[in-house]
């Protein structure tokens, strides 16, 4: 009997089994500390779960903060001349969302609206527990794992969208948002409403949350589109929009980019038009959700928006958002662009 050969075979079998077990654990986890300069993999299903937990965790900070002193400060003026406020609640939500994600996936880029705020206490935020099922989201567990290179992933978060309205207690406009972009393309979007405890999510080409509304296409709406614009826009925008979309169009104002996108997704409006600069953390989650339900978001010039980490955080050519008939409405944009200059 060749004992040497048998021992070598057994050692090889043990090594192979150990390696297979390592790969299984590695793939099931959202991240890894294996030092290959961000060339290792990220599990997108795990990242979706973390994105939901982040948005809802930030939402809890927003909900808790409404009864405390907000300590409102100004980050300056928007291009529309409106105040751009920030509060302690923005920072508390940022702390929970940003560090929760970074401590769960230490190998991905996360970009937050409140990125300039540093707080040593945030370092104590624990990683998200991805093992239990998330209540109301059992269909996530039915999806297959999908692995991507960590270096291709950028997560955009808005810890408190519609801060101005939050300070005015117009809570219906307030959301927290998380978006996962792969090579600049928005793939996963999560929009959470803290004050109604509603969370909408979508994974492009895969699934949406069970509460995502089904909205039938009504071609006749093109003759009298319902258009929503920012409540901070000057009156000229409403006049120009009505001129471009026709006398029968109905132009309304609302706050919060996340809120306005979801109002298009759920069929309340046919068009969301924003004519000035807007930041990518305001729109990335909505862009991913729109793509998943066959809607569309582009600049007013018709360009897709690149959410890569090395790009500019601002979109300077405005945005056009529709669930249906995007090309039809896009043809109206040159007259609006001309009128606004």
> According to the annotation, is 149 in a ligand binding site?
no
Going by C-alpha positions, the residue among 210, 148, 208 that lies closest to residue 181 is: 148
Answer yes or no: is 160 a known binding residue.
yes
CA distances from 275 to 102, 272, 316 (A): 33, 10, 9
Contact 298, 304 (CB under 8 A): yes
Identify how many contiguous H helices and E strands the chain contains and give both numbers.
9, 17
Residue 193: beta bridge partners? 198
The stretches of 29-162 forming alpha helices (DSSP H) are: 44-65, 88-104
Buried-exposed string 119-129: b where 16+ CB fall within 10 A, e elsewhere: eeebeebebbe
Whether 88 has a binding-site annotation, put simply, is: no
Within 79-234, where are the H helices? 88-104, 163-167
What does the alpha-carbon distance between residue 122 and residue 249 come to, in Å, rounded to a whole number?
47
41 sits in the region (left: phi over 0; alpha: psi -120 to 50; else beta) called beta
Question: How far is residue 214's CA from residue 61's CA, in Å, rounded to a whole number?
Answer: 31
282 is in an annotated binding site: yes
Half-sphere exposure of 31 toward its Cβ, with a 13 Å CA cutoff? 23
Tell me how far CA of residue 8 lies from CA of 1, 3, 5, 20, 252, in angstroms. 13, 9, 5, 18, 76
DSSP 8-class letter at 125: P
Is 90 assigned a ligand-binding role in the annotation?
no
Give the residue carrying structure tokens 């132009």: 251
What is the Cα–Cα distance from 233 to 253, expressed in whole angstroms?
8
Only one residue has tokens 């408190």, namely 160
The whole-angstrom separation of Cα 338 and Cα 341 is 6
Q: DSSP assignment of 203-244, as one string?
A: ETTTEE-TTPPP----GGGGGS-EEEEETTS-HHHHHHHHHH
Point out the annotated binding site for Mg(2+): 113, 158, 160-161, 282
Binding-site residues, in ranges, read 113, 158, 160-161, 282
């Amino acid at each position: 009997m060749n004992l040497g050969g048998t021992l070598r075979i057994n050692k090889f079998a043990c090594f192979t089994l150990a390696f297979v077990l390592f790969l299984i654990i590695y793939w099931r986890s959202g991240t890894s500390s294996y030092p290959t300069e961000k060339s290792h993999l990220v599990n997108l299903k795990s990242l979706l779960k973390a994105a939901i937990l982040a948005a809802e965790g930030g939402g809890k900070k927003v909900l808790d903060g409404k009864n405390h002193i907000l300590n409102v400060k100004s980050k300056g003026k928007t291009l529309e001349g409106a105040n751009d406020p920030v509060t302690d609640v923005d920072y508390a939500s940022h702390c929970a969302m940003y560090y929760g994600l970074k401590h769960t996936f230490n190998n991905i880029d996360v970009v937050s609206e409140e990125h300039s705020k540093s707080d040593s206490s945030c370092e104590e935020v624990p990683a998200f527990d991805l093992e239990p099922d998330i209540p109301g989201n059992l269909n996530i567990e039915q999806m297959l794992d999908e692995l991507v290179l960590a270096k291709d992933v950028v997560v955009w978060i808005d810890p408190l969208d519609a801060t101005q309205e939050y300070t005015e207690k117009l809570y219906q406009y307030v959301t927290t948002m998380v978006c996962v972009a792969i090579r600049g393309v928005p793939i996963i979007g999560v929009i959470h409403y803290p004050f109604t405890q509603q969370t909408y999510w979508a994974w492009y080409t895969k699934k949406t949350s069970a509460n995502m509304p089904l909205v039938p296409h009504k071609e006749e709406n093109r003759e009298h589109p319902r258009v929503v614009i920012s409540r901070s826009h000057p009156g000229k925008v409403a006049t120009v929009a009505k001129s471009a979309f026709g006398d029968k169009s109905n132009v309304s104002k609302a706050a919060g980019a996340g809120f306005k996108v979801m109002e298009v997704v759920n069929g309340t409006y046919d068009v969301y038009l924003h004519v000035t600069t807007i930041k990518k953390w305001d729109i990335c989650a909505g862009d991913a959700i729109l793509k998943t339900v066959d809607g569309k978001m582009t600049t007013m010039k018709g360009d897709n928006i690149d959410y890569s980490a090395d790009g500019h955080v601002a979109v300077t050519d405005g945005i056009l958002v529709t669930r249906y008939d995007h090309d039809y409405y896009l043809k109206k944009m040159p007259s609006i662009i001309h009128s606004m200059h």
